[in-house]
Amino acid sequence: MLARLYGPRGWTAIVAALAIVCVLVPLANLVAPPESVFHMPDYTVALAGKILCYAMVALAMDLIWGYTGILSLGHGLFFALGGYAMGMYLMRAIGRDGVYQSDLPDFMVFLDWKEYPWYWAGTDQFWYSALLVLLVPGVLAFVFGFFAFRSRIKGVYFSIITQALTFAAMLLFFRNDTGFGGNNGFTDFKRILGFPTATSEARVALFVISGVTLIAMLLVARFIVTSRLGRVLTAIRDAESRVMFSGYNPAHYKLFVWTLSAVMCGIAGALYVPQVGIINPSEMSPANSIEIAIWVAVGGRGTLTGAILGAGIVNGAKSWFTVAFPEYWLFFLGLLFVLVTVFLPQGLIGLLGRRARKSA
């Protein structure tokens, strides 16, 4: 069954299913009346769009952890950096509609800032902010990865320093004097490209864009893992020393996929912010980055579709648990990770594969 699933027909079916969902949601909201069961409330559309963004992050994590054997506990940083880059554009799009009716964001006026800091110059232009979404996570990941991989840091030590990097960035962004909004971050967005962000049409449009972006990332990731590059990456995961003795330099391959993974997270963060309506330093919390690894483990690392499945299931459960039993969510998440690690090392995708082989 898994062989058929990951064959050309199986992948065509997976991509077609995602595309159909991206088409059905806007059609249902445009055609069906608000009282119809086929009409999705704005909250549901925003939640689904948010989960699609999380699925992109899980896919990025699967590329480096599932296929290359690099466990990052700091991918929340790249996600947040993409969100902040887009968030500042959205803040500047508010213009004089803020509380203080100033060209500066309300938090800067409150802190008596007179002008934008140099690193926010040009963020009133969408194209420039979109460029920052790609460059900031990508450049940071490249520089960090260059020194880490050249020094042959790997395993648990690499995981620890990625988490330390994320925690340090979180403390920096919490400061009020750094121009990132402090504890509150960026919020109260009103427009994107001149269109109101709070309308049903804008939410559906952002959902569709997120779905199309996820499909594109999935196809790119599949192209990589099925190519010669992908075979080298899995060889690095399974026996890095042998790869090195075969004449390859693992650092180059790891640096490429690490940087690509960070850029994917930045794009996900940029799409996440206008749908959720806020970005603050809590997105860089070490717990958030650990949660990303749990999504991939639950779905099945090294499978791509498993990462997407895990992100959807865990975040769907989180949405329900945090409403019904908010005090038990973290206990449930920890228990889920333990159960998957002990009983389902290949995740839900592996479980489906075993059941299919038994029934065959």
Percent of the chain with pLDDT over 90: 53
Amino acid letter, 338: V
**Contact predicate 283/74, CB 8 Å:** no
Helical pair 75-94 and 250-276, crossing angle rounded to 10 deg: 40
What's the whole-number mean pLDDT along residues 15-35?
Answer: 69
Convert the pLDDT of each residue in 139-150 to its tens digit. Answer: 999 999 999 999
Question: For residue range 4-20, what is the model confidence (pLDDT) as tens digits?
Answer: 445 555 556 666 677 77
Please name which of 77, 237, 83 lies closest in space to residue 163, comparing C-alpha atoms. Answer: 77
Of 40-44, 158-162, 285-289, 301-305, the range with the lowest mean pLDDT is 40-44
Would you tell me the crossing angle of helices 286-299 and 347-359 to the nearest 10 degrees? 10
Higher pLDDT, 35 or 297: 297
Q: What is the dihedral of CA 53, 54, 56, 58, to 10 degrees?
A: 180
Percent of the chain with pLDDT over 70: 88
**Residues 131-187: tens digit of each pLDDT:** 999 999 999 999 999 999 999 998 999 999 999 999 999 999 999 889 899 999 999
Report the pLDDT value the prediction gives residue 96, as an integer from 0 to 100. Answer: 66
Domain holding 134, by residue range, is: 2-359
- The C-alpha angle 20, 307, 342, rounded to 5 degrees, equals 140
- Whether the pLDDT of residue 2 is over 60: the answer is no
> Mean pLDDT over residues 100-121, rounded?
84
pLDDT at residue 32, as a whole number: 65
What is the tally of structural domains in the chain? 1
Q: In this predicted structure, what is the pLDDT of residue 22? A: 72
DSSP state of 279: E
pLDDT of residue 305: 87
pLDDT at 333 exceeding the cut of 90: no
**Lowest mean pLDDT segment, chosen from 64-68, 158-162, 243-247:** 243-247
Mean pLDDT of the 279-294 span: 93
100: pLDDT confidence band, cut at 50, 70 and 90? low
Number of Cβ within 10 Å of residue 313's Cβ equals 16
Asked whether the predicted pLDDT for residue 204 surpasses 80, the reply is yes
* pLDDT in the model for residue 102: 75
